[in-house]
Amino acid sequence: MALAKKKELAKMTIEQLDKQYTDLRKELMKLNMQKSSGTPPENPGLVKATRKAIARIHTFKTQKKNQPKEVVKKSNSKTIKKEEKKKK
């Protein structure tokens, strides 16, 4: 499985990130099983890279969930994110 780059992850939706996350978790579990059974890994750095990719996906999911819902456009064509009202 090819590990996604940051730019690719930023473009993905939350559902796509969830699928990528589950695929990487399965891959990591497979790599850890090989390691525990004593089989020498083909690429020893792949375990670390997979863990980093999982953490990166987790970060992007959190960022997307915490984004403001509304986007307001100004007349000078700049977009400003309107912050959500605080509940009292």
pLDDT-wise least confident of 3-7, 44-48, 80-84: 80-84
Give the closest residue to 5 by CA, choosing from 18, 19, 20, 15.
Answer: 20
Q: What angle do CA 65, 85, 58 make, to 5 degrees?
A: 15
Residue listed under structure tokens 């939706």: 13
Question: pTM for this structure?
Answer: 0.68
Q: What distance in Å separates the CA atoms of residue 46 and residue 28, rounded to the nearest whole number?
A: 9
- Decide if 80 contacts 74 (C-beta within 8 A): yes
We find that the CATH architecture of domain 6-81 is: Orthogonal Bundle (1.10)
For residue 88, name the pLDDT band (cuts at 50, 70, 90). very low
